[in-house]
Amino acid sequence: MRIRLCLAALSLVGGVGLTALSAPAASAATCSDIDVVAARGTFEPGTLGLIVGDPVYSALQRKLTGKKLSSYAVNYPADLSLTSAAQGNADLVNHVKAQAAACPAQRFLLVGYSQGANVVDNSLGISSAGAVVGSPIVATLPAAVEPKVAAVLLFGNPIRALGKSVTGVYQSRTIDFCADGDPICENGGDDVLAHLGYTSDAGAAATFAASRV
C-alpha cells in the first residue's frame, strides 16, 4: 500500500508546490565535454525530471564552469507498464553508444531517479528485476564505453530495498541517495513524502560528479 501511495504521489507532483528549475532542452549528437544522461522517475514531469534531473543539471552547470555540458532525457514511458524500465534501459544504452562513436572525447554522467535509477542500474549490468517498477536487463553498456562514464548519480533507487546496489567497475563512481523512510529504496520505509525530496541532494551529487570528471 505504501508503494502505491508513493507512486500516486509522483503522479500528482505538479500539484505539490515544487518549482521547476531551468534546464536546456535535451539534446543528442552534440560533442560537448560531458553529456548528462538523465532517466526521470515514474510520472515525473520536467525536461530531465522536475525533482532530480533538472536541479542536478543546474547544479552541474554551476560546478563545472570550465566544461561544456549537453543533456539527454532518456526516452521511455516512465509509467507502471511492465516494459517501461526495459525501454529506458535500451534507449540509454543506445544513446551512450551512439554518442561515444560520434564524439570519442565525450564523457558521461548518468542520472537516475526512482524508476530511472532502475534504468541506469540495468544499463550498468545490475538487474532491477523484482524491484518496484523494475525489469530484467535488456542491454548493457559495452566495455569500450565504461571508461567514458565519469560518475553515476542515483536517487531513490528501488534495488536498495532488495538489499542490492551498484557493484563492480562502476561502484567507486556511484553515489546512491536514499532518504530516511523512503519506501521505494528502504525496505520497511513508511515516509512516502521522503521520495519526493531529492532536489535537496542536487548540490551534493554535483560535487561528487565534479570530483570525478
Active site residues: 114, 182, 195
**Alpha-carbon gap, residue 138 to 173, rounded angstroms:** 22
Cα first-last separation, the chain: 41
Say if residues 153 and 111 touch (Cβ distance below 8 Å): yes
- Number of H-type helices and E-type strands within the chain: 5, 5
Give the position of cell 554551476. 62
73 phi and psi angles, rounded to 5 deg: -90, 115
**Alpha-carbon gap, residue 154 to 165, rounded angstroms:** 10
